Chains A and B, each alone.
Chain A
Amino acid sequence: MVEERYKRLYEKIAQALRETPKRAALYRAMKRGRDSRQRAIGALPGGEAFRDEVRAIKLRCQDAQDSLVERFAAKARQRGASVFLAEDGAAAIRYVLAVAEACGAKSVAKSKSLTSEEIEINHPLESAGMDVIETDLGELIIQKAHEKPFHLVFPAVHKTVAEVAEIFRRETGEEIPADVDAIMKAVRRYLRPIFLNADIGMTGANVGIAENGAIVVETNEGNARLVSSIPDVHICIMGREKVVATVEDALQMMMAHPLSAVGQSLTTYVTLMAGRSPLGEGDGPRQSHLIILDNGRTRMRKDPLFQDALHCIRCGACMNICPTYGVVGGHTFGYIYPGPIGIPWTAEVHGLEKAGDFAPLCISCGLCKEICPAEIDIPMMIAAVKDRDAETHPQPRVNRVMMAAEPFAKFACATAPLSNWMLRNRAVRWMMEKTLGIDRRRTLPPFSRPALVQRMARRGLSTVRNPRRRVAFFADLFANYNAPDLGMAAVQALEALGCEVVMPRQLGCGYQYIAYGNLKAARRVAEENVRCLAPCVNEGYDVVAMEPTATYCLRLSYPKLLDQRKEAAAVSGKTFELFEYLGMLEQSVEVPPSLRGRRVGFHISCHQRPLGGGRHAMEYLRRRGAEVEVIETGTCCGMGGTFGLKTGLLGYDLAQAVGEPLFDAFRQSAVEVIVTESSVCTIQLKEGTGLPVRHPLELLQNNL
């Protein structure tokens, strides 16, 4: 039986897939965001290093958070602001209502504030008889359309010019043509009296500065300037995690936020406000209220798996790169906080249940972590949300099937070629789709007997004398059970460069457990692999892994899963990508230009991004004379490990929708063959493009 929440999710995905123009607009917007960011970072003196600085500031300020908040509040009070520390949303709302009542307010002009949306303040204000007007254009469109933001930074990115014109025609009664400039002029006319006459101006804050008690508010439109200067009462609602120590810290945040969001160097207006200034001479007393909101943040800070989420600077970059968000958008992929970071934030401030409603959309490509300006390990947090959620909502059967990939592969390998015949049989595949949930349209790679581990055992000890290096080979499922010849080719390539190669006892990397959220099982696999590999590392072996996801696990996921345990760190420090290792050994070796004249399109697997982005394999091919071009959209191919093997909307269908632009890019390029190191991306690209897809070693062997 399909659970109610999955039914709702399927409906939303199906609808998003049907709305082709909206999808195209969303895709363009996301791509533009990440491309502009990439260009701007390319032009930055330190490049990606700004992320390390942001992270360092956030770590330092999070450690000292209680004292910084205290200092910030004291300084702000000294400057004349009223400061209220709100335990939760209800307390913040009560405070605002009391302020409004005391000053007899009839209207509230707001500039964009996610924190005010988090506590859903508009409704109680309206119920108390006030007019509440959003003045950020995107938020205003959303408010008038009675929707929730579609994206953190571009809330109305899904609305066309015509739709927006219609919204304002309805609102103003004016005849507004479907033209951006005309709409803008009408909006200016509509909002100006609101700015001039509002009783309360409400903003959020991007940063609070403990050193001087000032808040920092960033906008491009300038609406925050108006709502914080004209009304007699200014209320700012900010999360307590926004407080940093110094002006220098604040400047770094001011830079990082727009850079990461859209590749802009500063937003057009950045205002640092402390206390409340008069408006002209002879002005009566004016009020400034700072509401510093907790609403789960203190609890979050104490949770080792979630505390890093407090480093979020709300730039929206994780949304711009998330493959499935880019198809379905924030109304499906989000509650109030949308996108990847929205999953842990929703879990913490709006509850696990709401986060679990959209967490299955995460396909664990890990790209959100690679783009995050604060280097937040969002994928691991999402895994934890899925894991905790599974206690009350058991995993769907297909997810349990996918998590059983290892015993399945082992069995299919042992029973090949019969298993292969079955996997090709249409009736069997139909049955597999109905009972297991594996899409019958997928061409599954055949299994090959004996497995690599058996071949290596039969071969006995390495025959390389006086080895230069000693290598413990990590195969993962595909090379072990499906492509032992390829695994053997890797072993031989290492041996040819003077390595002694052993294949210690090992399990598959187990990433599927992280992907679907069974952290207990993920830890068990991590523990077992570390237990098998750590002794080798102690004896001076290096670990060389073939599959990008396996390298990613050994290097990055295991230490985290095993709480940075010494052995896990040791294995991590000695783990290499196959071509990284071959490249090191090859440095002084002359290689024949066996690939001269070959034009290949390289596909970077997502998990390879933090491992050098495919650089090592590309250099390996280029040294052999191949012309290698990276073909990419900047996001995932859609496969997401085993996600794309699953049938239906939360699987094959969504994977195809994600993959389409990349398939087009490959087809439009003049490459004759696609090269990738990932076994699962291979399946997706072969089917999606119709082009041949090869592992770099296959390219060398067959020279096809």
Chain B
Amino acid sequence: MDESVLAQFKQKYESLAGVVHLVSGVEEAAEVVASVLDGAEARRVALGEFPETLREVLRQRCAALGLEMVQPPYRSADLPAAIDAAQVGVSPAEFAIAETGTLVEFATDDALRLVSTLPRVHVGVVRAVDLVATLRDAAGRVRTFYQQNPKHATVTFISGPSRTGDIEMRLTLGVHGPESAHAVVIR
């Protein structure tokens, strides 16, 4: 793990009004998520498709907090309302780009995209080993994803919270998507 790449990611992501949390493992990651949920006074949380260990830890945490959870498998009939009702969305990022302060999300179900778009707060979770230095470094992973998914597939580059400067060029966050964005980086 290249510390300078990590430092660059943190610097860039935070310059985009995001918050970076460096944690040592899944337990600590769940800790951070819990504190964000608490800060957002969340009653309902939307979870993305996590690898098993992290999924279990997060579920337990959210259950302990007494939160309603929307999680895979999502029932089409409940959507998009079920995710729209969540105050916080928590989802994994496939990898992250230091140069641009970007979390990259892979999805073959549009419900996953809503987890990182509809709630006011989004938490993206990424492993530090999945940090790449430059935008160019993303090409290989994106290509592979499309090769592995010959039908529908979506890749989203997310760099901080939803923003606009459309009124008098004044920067404002959260016009449609999240007004606050967190990146939890697990070493």
Residues of A within 8 A of B (CB): 25, 28-29, 32, 78-80, 135-138, 141, 154-157, 159-161, 164, 180-181, 183-184, 187-188, 191-192, 195-196, 211-212, 214, 220-223, 225-226, 229-230, 246-248, 251, 254-255, 262, 265-284
Contacts and interface: CB of A to CB of B under 8 A. Distances in A.
A277 B100 contact: no
B176 A135 contact: yes
Instruction: Name the prevailing secondary structure of the A interface residues.
Output: mixed
B153 A282 contact: no
Contact of B110 (A80, A180, A195, A229): A229
A141 B166 contact: yes
B135 A266 contact: yes
Contact of B101 (A221, A247, A265): A265
Contact of B117 (A29, A136, A226): A226
Contacts of A196: 80-81, 84
A166 B76 CA distance: 39
Contacts of B174: 184, 188
B158 A269 contact: yes
Nearest to B147: A212
B89 to A, nearest CB: 12
Interface centre among A79, A161, A181, A230 (most CB of B within 10 A): A230
B6 to A, nearest CB: 18
Given A180-B172, A265-B159, A279-B111, A192 B75 contact: no
A275 B114 contact: no
A161 B167 contact: yes
Contacts of A276: 152
B76 A191 contact: no
28 contacts: A137-B175, A138-B164, A141-B167, A155-B166, A160-B168, A180-B172, A196-B84, A221-B175, A221-B177, A229-B113, A230-B110, A248-B136, A251-B138, A251-B139, A266-B157, A269-B159, A269-B177, A270-B157, A271-B113, A271-B155, A271-B156, A277-B107, A277-B153, A278-B76, A280-B109, A281-B73, A281-B75, A282-B77
B114 A181 contact: no
A79 B168 contact: no
A566 to B, nearest CB: 39
A268 B84 CA distance: 20
Given A137-B164, A222-B176, A280-B79, A80 B151 contact: yes
B99 interface: yes
Interface centre among A164, A251, A268, A283 (most CB of B within 10 A): A268
B16 A274 contact: no
The 6 closest A-B CB pairs, nearest first, are A222-B177, A275-B152, A280-B76, A138-B166, A280-B74, A283-B76
A247 B142 contact: yes
A164 B107 CA distance: 36
Nearest to B149: A274
A275 B146 CA distance: 11
B65 to A, nearest CB: 24
Interface string B96-140: 000111100001111101100110000000000000000110110
A271 B154 contact: yes
Nearest to A279: B110
A266 B146 CA distance: 21
Contacts of A225: 113, 117, 156, 177
